[in-house]
Amino acid sequence: MAAQLRRAPWLALSLALHGLIVLVLLLIPREEPDADSAPQVRLAPTEQAPVIDEIPPEPEPEPDIPPVVFDDVPIEEPISDVIEKSDIVSDVENVADAESAFDWTGPNPAIGIGGDAGGKYAGRPGGGRRGRRSPTYDTTHAALEWLARHQDDDGSWDADEFMKHDVEGTACDGAGNPAHDVGVTGLALLAFLGDGHTMYGAGEYADNVHAAVKWLTTQQDPDSGLLGTASSNEFVYDHAIATLALVEASGLSRSRVLRPYAQRALNYLEYHRNPYGVWRYQPRDGDADTSVTGWCVLAYKAGQDFDFQVNVQALEFAAAFLDQMTDPATGRTGYSQRGGSSSRLTGDHAERFPREQNECMSAVSLLCRIFMGGIDAKDPLVEKQAQLVLAKPPRWDEEAGTIDHYAWYYGTYALYQVGQSPWRQWQKSLHRAVVKTQRNDANFRGSWDPRGVWGSTGGRVYSTAILCLTLQAYHRYARVLIR
């Protein structure tokens, strides 16, 4: 490097000069700029990119109809092709000789464990042979005989043309609305089941039960599970009653073939129910009433009894709805308003059948609460509702408009559960109003005239089936009210 500098003196001179300039600049004092006079620099805002841990999924569109949560139940063949007497088998072996579910000594969750047939369904006679003889035995069996004589060959009961079976003598009157064939067939089937007759049993009405079950399944829409059609405004009544009948028939007959049809019928009720609510005429329209809800609760409870898939939360909503409809001061449950009265049709229906003649909705509420549980005999509401129902007992008085088979049905079952003095008092009125008014003449023998509130809707088949069921309260369900 020294040799190069000697050969290039100009480079050394340049370096010395630049060093002198730098030294002079460092000696000059610096003046801090005034903050106020400092130039303002505006920066355009920039968006900070979001930090994405993962890509969120695209939201799924809201379905128009909430899906039923139950498993789909495949049905490979129409039941009319496969449900023959030889095909009706139990989930356990060696029951072919059993007369009913109560004759089988194996496990049956719905009626208890072992041969005692203990449980909710234990009191049913078992094909007319077993069980204690009911005080209303003769009356109920006359009713079953009338129903059997007026059943169509296809297994149904014809609400408006049942009298075609009266080939001799004076034909019965009392036609109902043909739109309710599914409902009256369900009621009639329940009456035979209530007496202990099953599809495979040896009782005299096993063929009637088998035919009725077979017909009901042919009326089921394979996709929705609806029994019948939505041709009437009240079609859900028919469906709920028929569902209860199919569930009981399947459970008591222990039929694997029938079970999918009963499950689909329950599934339709779940589809029909209001989200976070209960039931009324149209599916999921936000409307609700105590009467329709009552039948649906009974169907759901039977489903639980026989181990079907049932949305337990629906029963919780039903209990909450009944609370909403019940006046806590009086205990009265209304049809669609708290503490209100029962329903009536438009026109002069309310004049011919005054609403204040019965406490039907309070009876519906009381029975449903007892079956759903969560209430015991010491609950003040039980006493209030029992006294309300008891204060307006059955009375067959056409002129006064007191005939209401529907109210008598629920009142009888509710007070049977309560038992004791209320039931003893109610029995006396029931005997006078129902047992004494059964027809004993010719083709009418065993039936009841459809003179009541809903008689023109259901007709003689309805009045006979529901009053037969009413008189079966002595043995149809065991008392389950906790004391």
The pLDDT, as a whole number, for residue 135 is 85
d(C-alpha 154, C-alpha 211), whole Å:
7
SS3 content of the chain, % helix, strand, coil (to 5): 45, 0, 50
Burial class (CB in 10 A: 0-12, 13-18, 19+), 397: exposed
The whole-number pLDDT of residue 72 equals 52
298-321 tens-digit pLDDT = 999 999 999 999 999 999 999 999
Give the pLDDT of residue 470: 99
Contact 187, 241 (CB under 8 A): yes
Residue 126: which pLDDT band, with cuts at 50, 70 and 90? low
Token pair in block for residue 142: 């006359």
More confident residue, 104 or 319: 319
The mean pLDDT value for 91-116 works out to: 33
pLDDT at 366 over 80: yes
So where are the chain's domains? 79-89+96-474
Confidence of residue 464 (pLDDT cuts 50, 70, 90): very high
Please write the tens of the pLDDT for every residue from 36-73: 433 332 323 333 333 223 323 333 333 343 444 445 55
The 10s digit of each residue's pLDDT in 200-237 is 887 899 999 999 999 999 999 999 999 999 999 999 99
Residue 109 has pLDDT above 60, yes or no: no
Of 128, 84, 90, whose CA–CA distance to 110 is shortest? 90
**pLDDT band, residue 134 (cuts 50/70/90):** confident
Q: Which residues pair with 326 in a beta bridge?
A: 333
pLDDT confidence of 93, banded at 50, 70, 90? very low
What is the predicted pLDDT for the residue at 125? 85
Q: Are 380 and 328 in contact (CB under 8 A)?
A: no
Provide CB contacts within 8 A for 14, sequence distance 6+: none
CA distance 322 to 291: 11
Q: Is 7 exposed, middle or buried (0-12, 13-18, 19+ CB in 10 A)?
A: exposed
How far apart are alpha carbons 237 and 179 in whole angstroms?
A: 11
Least confident of 15-29, 69-83, 103-117, 283-297: 103-117
User: Which tops the pLDDT comparison, 2 or 185?
Assistant: 185
Q: Any idea which of 47-51, 80-84, 188-192, 387-391 has the lowest mean pLDDT?
A: 47-51
Q: Is residue 453 scored above 60 in pLDDT? A: yes
Q: Which of 385, 459, 472, 476 is nearest to 180 (CA)?
A: 459
* CB hemisphere CA count around 235 (13 angstroms): 16
**Domain 79-89+96-474: assigned CATH number:** 1.50.10.20
- The answer to whether 340 touches 355, Cβ cutoff 8 Å, is no
What's the CA gap between 454 and 374, in Å, rounded?
32
Per-residue model confidence (pLDDT) at position 424: 97
pTM over 0.75: yes
Share of the chain above pLDDT 70, in %: 74
- What is the pLDDT, as a whole number, of residue 374? 85
Query: How many other C-beta atoms can be found within 10 angstroms of the C-beta atom of residue 143?
Result: 28
Euclidean distance between CA atoms 77 and 261, whole angstroms: 11
- Tell me how far apart the alpha carbons of residues 354 and 402 are, in angstroms, rounded to a whole number: 8
